Amino acid sequence: MQKAIVRDTFFLAQKSQETSREDLQDVRDLVDTFKANRDQCVGMAANMIGVKKRFIVIDFMNLPFVMINPKVISKSGRYETEEGCLSLSGRRKAVRYQNITVSYQDMQFQKHTQEFTGYTAQIIQHEIDHCDGIVI
């Protein structure tokens, strides 16, 4: 079910908690909300629909890609850029890394470790920041 986008910066500044199987309906709601906002965003984190849990959805090869309990375990190639966010107006400066290795679980809670580069890596870093209460 599509949910409203949270823009409350006090709420968004709070850290999210580990996701468990009981949160799967919220994961599906995030995917639905992401699909409904596809024209204006490339990724979303759970707290953007009011759920303080660690899961995100990103655009990966034009499909919604869910990462549960995602964590950057290594990074290289620091650069500075500017980003926007559906929960904020305007664009802000951000420091990102060109190459990242991320550990996460899929919707069956299988563990994965995967490398990402470039724009996909940038989106993942932005969304994982949301899980830590960082909005750009």
Residue ranges that bind Zn ion, judged by CB under 5 A: 85
- Looking at beta carbons only, is 64 or 110 nearer to Zn ion? 64
Min. distance of Cβ 42 from Zn ion in angstroms?
10
Structural tokens at position 105: 């679980």
- Looking at beta carbons only, is 85 or 124 nearer to Zn ion? 85
Q: Are 112 and 103 in contact (CB under 8 A)?
A: yes
Min. distance of Cβ 18 from Zn ion in angstroms?
20
Residues composing the chain:
136
- Looking at beta carbons only, is 24 or 134 nearer to Zn ion? 134
User: What angle is formed at CA 7 by the lines to CA 105 and CA 27, rounded to 5 degrees?
Assistant: 25
Min. distance of Cβ 87 from Zn ion in angstroms?
6
- Catalytic residues, by residue number, are 127
- Looking at beta carbons only, is 94 or 107 nearer to Zn ion? 94
DSSP collapsed to 3 states, 30-55: HHHHHHHCCCCCCEEEHHHHCCCECE
Supply the DSSP symbol for 14. S
Sheet holding 43-45, edge to edge: 43-45, 55-60, 63-84, 91-105, 111-117
Min. distance of Cβ 110 from Zn ion in angstroms?
26
